[in-house]
């Protein structure tokens, strides 16, 4: 039987996922109505491509978040875990950022097509994190090959010599 915390997290996650679904739905309906219906005389293939791009970003990030928020049950149907805590950082936070940036770009691109340039923040931030966590430490790795002084060299050789000698215990014979 699940505790109160798991049940509470399950309810919080359901509300949170529902709110994200409404944000996506409202933003898409707004974009389609205003940009593709009302201002249809100025629509080009790039607007349809933008709609496809934002729909893909919504789909990937929403599905990932919904999977993380999904509760788990045992064979009897009892709640085991209420799902991932959606208020934590890391990947969950990045997926939320993608959703919110996508919503902003899609809604504001109705005003001007220049707002699509804001979408470049996502790959730039991904490259920054890749550089910070992987590339920079790998490329500019400092080697710790300091010249060994005479005293530490003798000590190391002495320790190696000691490690190579077998140790025997003297046993008393009766």
Looking at the domain assignment, is residue 19 inside a domain? yes
Looking at the domain assignment, is residue 167 inside a domain? no
Burial of 28 (0-12, 13-18, 19+ CB in 10 A): middle
* Tokens of residue 152, six digits: 């530490």
Looking at the domain assignment, is residue 164 inside a domain? no
CA dist 7 and 113 (Å) reads: 44
pTM: 0.72
Domain that holds residue 126: 4-139
Tally of structural domains, the chain: 1
Looking at the domain assignment, is residue 42 inside a domain? yes
- The neighbour count for residue 49, using CB atoms within 10 Å, is 11
Instruction: Give the model confidence (pLDDT) of 30-69 as tens digits.
Output: 999 998 899 888 888 988 999 999 999 999 999 999 999 8
Nearest to 51 by CA among 101, 118, 104, 106: 106
Looking at the domain assignment, is residue 153 inside a domain? no
Looking at the domain assignment, is residue 162 inside a domain? no
Q: Are 20 and 102 in contact (CB under 8 A)?
A: no
Looking at the domain assignment, is residue 174 inside a domain? no
User: Which CA distances in Å does 107 have to 34, 37, 66, 120?
Assistant: 9, 14, 23, 16
Looking at the domain assignment, is residue 168 inside a domain? no
Instruction: Give the model confidence (pLDDT) of 113-148 as tens digits.
Output: 899 999 999 999 999 989 888 888 888 776 666 677
């Amino acid at each position: 039987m699940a505790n109160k915390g798991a049940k509470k997290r399950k309810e919080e996650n359901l509300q949170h996922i529902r709110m994200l679904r409404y944000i996506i739905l409202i933003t898409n309906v707004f974009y389609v109505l205003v940009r593709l219906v009302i201002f249809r005389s100025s629509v080009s293939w790039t607007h349809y491509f933008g709609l496809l791009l934002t729909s893909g970003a919504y789909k990937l990030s929403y599905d990932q978040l919904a999977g993380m928020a999904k509760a788990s049950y045992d064979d009897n149907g009892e709640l085991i875990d209420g799902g991932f805590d959606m208020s934590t950082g890391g990947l969950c936070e990045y997926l939320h950022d993608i959703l919110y940036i996508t919503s902003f770009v899609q809604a504001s691109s109705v005003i001007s097509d220049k707002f699509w340039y804001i979408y470049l923040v996502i790959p730039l931030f991904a490259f920054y994190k890749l550089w910070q966590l992987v590339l920079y430490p790998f490329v500019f790795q400092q080697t710790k090959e300091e010249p060994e002084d005479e005293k530490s060299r003798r000590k190391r050789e002495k320790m190696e010599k000691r490690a190579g000698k077998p140790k025997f215990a003297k046993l008393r014979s009766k």
